[in-house]
């Protein structure tokens, strides 16, 4: 790693971090104002009305049996609703003001269990008009309103969405801080700034996490889950059973929050399971610790998910299975709709994950502009990780191993469930590419230093 980072003592590093993240905050806010609205933002913010029912521990209300209660995980909507109340902004919908049969329901089918219908489904949201804001940015809203291009209810609803975006901005900044902490923990200060800089300029990060969507929280809690899992992996071999179990609780909470943000947050548990199996065979004396840790993490994760989604309270297994099945069926439905890009085979999905994030033409992580820049950085990063695996420093070996396991796991798992070529669906794969690419930049610098010392100095001396 960079030797020059030793020059910066802890106080200087903290000062640089404060300045860096201050500029990042204002930069992200400007990007947010220029980021076009996405129609699903209306749904996420409007469904925050369920917070009122949740806070009353009321799972018997008929509204929990509607399409809105299971189509999206509820944690993002809860957070957006809380933020609106804190900012003293009018929510789009309020449960207390809903009548027995809201006039803006659409569909004639019943959504009550067990006769759910994915086609004719009653819903509390009526955001069909929001497709008219697709492509409109907050800075252009006034122009659209003055030109009569947006409906009458748009101004007040967009105020709520803009306020919700403030929370997305904070969690996006939190994701930058987390990736800094992860990389700094193993590779040091300068490497952490490189990694966070790659992430902040990632096109997919800008378009997915700065909107009022669930992806914002998914990325944050995935990074938090990874960070806590890495700490657990380093320390569990030296912990007593009681401390190992205690450390598993916050890990399980972070896993549960990731899954409560979007269902694919469950990949965190798969990563934890893989590491548990590795340690199980590598260090037999801690097998009981590992078993109890995995049970604790799984139980806490599922408990958090169930608590935050009252739709599944009556029957957690059946309710969760239904949510997963519904999401799967909905994806299959979109695969055959005009204008959508289906990815049909496992091989195609593996290829698209690389094509969109690493290969030339894939601009989701690095703006390649048709060049192989992203591929070059990734290959150098792979070279750097290979060097770390052979390093005498155990810390570098561990992180290289964990990054490679995490990336391979994410690549394969996403290759199984990724069905549509939608940009934000690739977001969970982005942290892996960012970290490897940051290692690539460091490796390029190391290579030029080596080349300079071994060849250029010899040429000049001769």
Residue ranges per domain, the chain?
Answer: 1-213, 219-314, 336-462
Tell me: the pLDDT tens digits for 300-321?
Answer: 999 999 999 888 888 888 888 8
Structure tokens at 283: 């260090």
Has this prediction a pTM greater than 0.85? yes
Q: By three-state DSSP, how is residue 413 classified?
A: helix
On whether the CB atoms of residues 372 and 365 are closer than 8 A, the answer is no
Query: Looking at residue 144, what is its pLDDT?
Result: 62
Report the C-alpha gap between 118 and 111 in whole angstroms.
8
The Cα–Cα gap between 257 and 266 comes to: 10
Enter the tokens of residue 265.
């947050």
Return the pLDDT at 342.
Answer: 86
- Nearest CA to 167 among 267, 83, 261? 83
Least confident of 4-18, 140-154, 336-350, 407-421: 140-154
pLDDT band (50, 70, 90) for residue 118: very low
Question: Locate tokens 């204008």: which residue?
Answer: 339
What would the two tokens of residue 83 be?
């933020």
pLDDT the model gives residue 154: 64
Q: Is the pLDDT of residue 112 over 70?
A: no
> Are 80 and 212 spatial neighbours (Cβ–Cβ below 8 Å)?
yes
pLDDT for the residue 326: 81
Percent of the chain with pLDDT over 70: 83
Cα 172 to chain centroid, rounded? 9
Q: What is the pLDDT of residue 455?
A: 65
Q: How confident is the model at residue 223 (pLDDT cuts 50, 70, 90)?
A: very high
With beta carbons less than 8 A apart as the criterion, state whether 69 and 123 touch: no
Confidence of residue 207 (pLDDT cuts 50, 70, 90): confident
pLDDT greater than 60 at residue 218: yes
Separation between Cα atoms, residue 24 and residue 360, nearest integer Å: 27
Q: Does residue 147 have a pLDDT over 70?
A: no
Does the structure show a pLDDT above 70 at 432? yes
Q: What is the pLDDT of residues 384-418, one digit of tens each?
A: 999 999 988 888 999 999 999 999 999 999 999 88
> What is the C-alpha separation between 312 and 305, in angstroms, rounded?
9
**pLDDT for residue 271:** 95
Q: Are 125 and 47 in contact (CB under 8 A)?
A: yes
Token readout for 126 is: 């009526």
8 A C-beta contact, residue 233 and residue 280: no
* Listed range (98-102, 221-225, 288-292, 348-352) with the worst mean pLDDT: 98-102
Say what the pLDDT of residue 134 is: 59
Q: Give pLDDT tens digits for 280-290.
A: 999 888 888 89
| More confident site: 13 or 115 | 13
Cα–Cα distances in Å, from 40 out to 107, 192, 290, 343, 369? Answer: 19, 33, 40, 22, 29
CA 131 to chain centre: 24
Query: Once rounded to an integer, what is the mean pLDDT over residues 214-231?
Result: 94
Alpha carbons 385 and 340: distance in angstroms, whole number: 37
- In Å, how far from its chain's centre is CA 437? 18
**In this predicted structure, what is the pLDDT of residue 91?**
85
390 exposure class (CB count in 10 Å sphere: 0-12, 13-18, 19+) = exposed
Rounded alpha-carbon distances, angstroms, from residue 179 to 31, 144, 361: 20, 38, 25
Residues 6+ apart with CB under 8 A from 153: 129
Q: Assess whether pLDDT exceeds 50 at residue 461.
A: no
Return the bridge partners of 420, or none.
342
CA gap 399, 396 in Å, rounded: 5
Token reading at 459: 């040429």
Residue 118 and residue 138 in contact, taking contact as beta carbons nearer than 8 Å: no
Backbone angles phi, psi at 162, to 5 degrees: -65, -40
DSSP 37: P
């Amino acid at each position: 790693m960079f030797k020059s980072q030793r020059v910066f003592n802890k106080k200087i590093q903290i000062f640089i971090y404060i300045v860096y993240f201050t500029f990042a905050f204002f930069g992200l806010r400007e990007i947010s104002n220029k980021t076009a609205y996405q129609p699903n933002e209306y749904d996420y913010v409007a469904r925050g009305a369920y917070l009122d029912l949740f806070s009353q521990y009321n799972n018997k209300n008929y509204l929990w049996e509607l399409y809105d209660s299971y189509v999206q995980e509820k944690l993002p909507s809860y957070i957006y609703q809380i933020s609106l109340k804190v900012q003293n902004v009018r929510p789009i919908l309020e449960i207390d003001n809903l009548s027995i049969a809201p006039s803006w329901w659409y569909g004639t089918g019943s959504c009550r269990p067990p006769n759910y219908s994915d086609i004719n489904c009653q819903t509390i949201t009526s955001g069909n008009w929001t497709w008219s804001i697709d492509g409109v940015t907050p800075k252009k809203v006034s122009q659209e309103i003055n030109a009569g291009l947006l409906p009458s209810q748009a101004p007040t609803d967009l105020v709520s969405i803009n306020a919700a975006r403030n929370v997305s901005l904070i969690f996006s900044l939190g994701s930058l801080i987390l990736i800094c902490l992860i990389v700094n923990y193993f590779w040091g200060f300068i490497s952490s700034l490189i990694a966070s800089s790659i992430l902040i300029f990632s096109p997919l990060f800008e378009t997915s996490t700065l909107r009022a969507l669930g992806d914002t929280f998914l990325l944050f809690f995935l990074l938090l889950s990874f960070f806590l899992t890495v700490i657990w992996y380093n320390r569990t071999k030296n912990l007593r059973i009681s401390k190992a179990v205690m450390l598993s609780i916050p890990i399980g909470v972070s896993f549960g929050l990731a899954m409560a943000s979007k269902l694919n947050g469950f990949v965190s548990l798969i990563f934890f399971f893989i590491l548990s199996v590795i340690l199980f065979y590598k260090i037999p004396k801690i097998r009981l610790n590992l078993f109890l840790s995995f049970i604790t993490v799984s139980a806490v994760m599922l408990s958090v998910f169930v608590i935050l989604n009252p739709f599944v309270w009556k029957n957690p297994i059946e309710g969760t299975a239904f949510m997963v099945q519904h999401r799967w069926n909905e994806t299959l439905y979109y695969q055959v709709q005009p204008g959508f890009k289906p990815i049909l085979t496992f091989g195609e999905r593996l290829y698209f994950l690389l094509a969109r994030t690493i290969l030339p033409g894939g601009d989701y992580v690095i703006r390649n502009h048709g060049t192989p820049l992203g591929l070059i950085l990734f290959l150098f990063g792979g070279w750097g990780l290979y060097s770390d695996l052979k390093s005498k420093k155990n810390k570098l070996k561990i992180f290289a191993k964990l990054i490679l396991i995490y990336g391979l796991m994410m690549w394969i798992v996403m290759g199984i469930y990724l069905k549509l070529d939608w940009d934000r669906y690739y977001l969970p794969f982005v942290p892996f590419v960012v970290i490897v690419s940051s290692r690539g930049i460091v490796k390029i610098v190391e290579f030029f230093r080596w080349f300079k010392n071994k060849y250029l100095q010899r040429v000049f001396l001769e």
